C-alpha cells in the first residue's frame, strides 16, 4: 500500500470523520457576526484552538481541513496547529481552491478557480505539515442547468487539482457539491448528482488519478430546500446509496459527505441511516463544517470563559457522528446531552 493510500484510509478509519474548519475569511466573519464576536486573527486562532484541543475528539475526528491562515497558526503555547493534530493522530489538510467564480458564457453557473501556481502551493503546504487537500466545485440545479459545459469545466478542474496533489504528496479530497438551494425534487437531485459524478470520474480517469489514493466529498441526494415534498431520512439514505452505487467506482477508499446546510442532527441521522442500510464497497463517513461547529460556536460566543461548554458541545457532535459511522446513532444520544 502506498503512503497516500494509507493516509486516505486513515482519513476514513471506522468510527471517525473529518472536521471542515476551512471557512474563508468572509464565511468565518458571518459565523462570528451571528454570535456577536469580532472576526480578527486572534479570535479566529483562539476559536480554532478551542476546537482542536477538545479532549477526546480524536476518538471521532480523523482529519481537519484548514484554511491557509489556520495552517500557519499555533496554540497559545506556540505549538503549530498541524503538529498539535499529528500528536493526537489527526491528519492535517488544506483547502487549496480560490473559490467559485462566474463561468464565462454560462449565466448563473460557476467554475472553481485556483489552478495557477497550485503545484508550488502544494509543495509549501506539504512542508507546513498538510497531508491532504480539498477542492470544492459548486453545481446549481435550476431551469435548464447544470449544463454539460459547467459540469465538464468543473470536472476537468477537479481532476487537474487531484493529479497535482498526487504528484505533490497530498491525498486529494474531490468535492463536487450539488447545492440544496431550490425547489427541485429528490428525483431531480438524484439525476444531477449522478450526471456530475460520472463526469468527475471520467475526468479523474483521463488525468491518471489513482482512485485508491483519492477521497470523494459529495452532497447527499436530497429534496431542494424549497421543495414542498421533503424526502424522509430513509428515502434520502436509499436514493443516495443507489446513486453512488451507480456512479462511484469501488476503488475509492471512502466517501465523506458534506452537510451542505442541513441541520446538525439531520446530517447525522442521514449518515447513520446509510450505514444502517450497509453493503457499500466504501467507508461512508462525514466531512462536516457547520454541522459539527454550530453548537460549539453558539456555546463559545467569543468568550474565553465559555471554552469548557463549547468543547463539550463539540465533543458531543463529534461523538454522535462517530456513532453514525456504524449506524449506531440514536435520538437518545441527543437527549442525554441536553
Rounded Cα distance between 60 and 57, Å, is 6
DSSP 58: G
Q: What angle do CA 327, 329, 330 make, to 5 degrees?
A: 130
Burial class (CB in 10 A: 0-12, 13-18, 19+), 76: exposed
Contacts of 336 (CB under 8 A, 6+ apart): none
Rounded Cα distance between 302 and 58, Å, is 24
Catalytic annotation, pick one of 23, 175, 177, 213: 175
Instruction: Tell me whether residue 276 is one of the annotated catalytic residues.
Output: no
Q: Are strands 91-95 and 283-288 parallel, antiparallel or unpaired?
A: unpaired
Residue 148 grid cell = 454539460
Q: At what angle do helices 41-52 and 290-300 cross, to 10 degrees?
A: 110
Catalytic annotation, pick one of 194, 217, 239, 283: 217
Instruction: Tell me whether residue 175 is one of the annotated catalytic residues.
Output: yes
Residue 338 grid cell = 441536553
Residue 28 grid cell = 468565518
Hey, which residues are catalytic here?
175, 217
Amino acid at each position: 500500500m502506498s503512503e497516500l493510500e494509507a493516509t486516505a484510509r486513515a482519513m476514513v478509519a471506522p468510527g471517525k470523520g473529518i472536521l471542515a474548519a476551512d471557512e474563508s475569511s468572509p464565511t468565518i466573519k458571518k459565523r462570528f457576526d451571528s454570535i456577536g464576536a469580532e472576526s480578527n486573527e486572534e479570535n479566529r486562532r483562539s476559536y480554532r484552538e478551542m476546537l482542536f484541543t477538545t479532549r477526546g475528539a480524536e476518538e471521532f475526528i480523523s482529519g481537519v481541513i484548514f484554511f491557509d491562515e489556520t495552517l500557519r497558526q499555533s496554540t497559545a503555547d506556540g505549538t503549530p496547529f498541524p503538529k498539535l493534530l499529528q500528536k493526537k493522530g489527526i491528519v492535517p489538510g488544506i483547502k487549496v481552491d480560490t473559490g467559485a467564480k462566474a463561468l464565462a458564457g454560462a449565466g448563473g453557473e460557476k467554475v472553481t478557480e485556483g489552478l495557477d501556481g497550485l503545484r508550488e502551493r502544494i509543495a509549501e503546504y506539504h512542508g507546513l505539515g498538510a497531508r491532504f487537500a480539498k477542492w470544492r466545485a459548486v453545481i446549481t440545479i435550476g431551469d435548464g442547468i447544470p449544463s454539460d459545459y459547467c459540469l465538464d469545466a468543473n470536472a476537468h478542474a477537479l481532476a487537474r487539482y487531484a493529479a497535482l496533489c498526487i504528484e505533490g504528496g497530498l491525498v486529494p479530497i474531490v468535492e463536487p457539491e450539488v447545492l440544496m438551494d431550490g425547489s427541485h425534487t429528490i428525483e431531480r437531485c438524484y439525476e444531477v448528482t449522478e450526471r456530475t459524478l460520472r463526469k468527475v470520474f471520467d475526468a479523474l480517469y483521463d488525468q491518471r488519478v489513482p482512485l485508491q489514493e483519492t477521497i470523494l466529498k459529495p452532497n447527499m441526494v436530497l429534496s431542494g430546500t424549497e421543495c414542498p415534498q421533503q424526502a424522509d431520512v430513509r428515502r434520502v439514505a436509499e436514493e443516495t446509496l443507489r446513486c453512488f452505487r451507480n456512479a462511484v467506482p469501488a476503488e475509492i477508499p471512502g466517501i465523506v459527505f458534506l452537510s451542505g446546510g442541513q441541520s446538525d442532527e439531520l446530517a447525522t441521522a442521514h449518515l447513520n441511516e446509510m450505514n444502517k442500510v450497509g453493503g457499500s464497497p466504501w467507508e461512508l463517513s462525514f466531512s462536516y463544517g457547520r454541522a459539527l461547529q454550530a453548537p460549539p460556536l453558539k456555546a463559545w460566543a467569543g468568550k474565553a470563559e465559555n471554552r469548557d461548554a463549547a468543547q463539550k458541545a463539540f465533543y458531543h457532535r463529534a461523538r454522535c457522528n462517530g456513532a453514525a459511522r456504524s449506524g449506531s446513532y440514536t435520538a437518545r444520544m441527543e437527549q442525554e446531552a441536553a
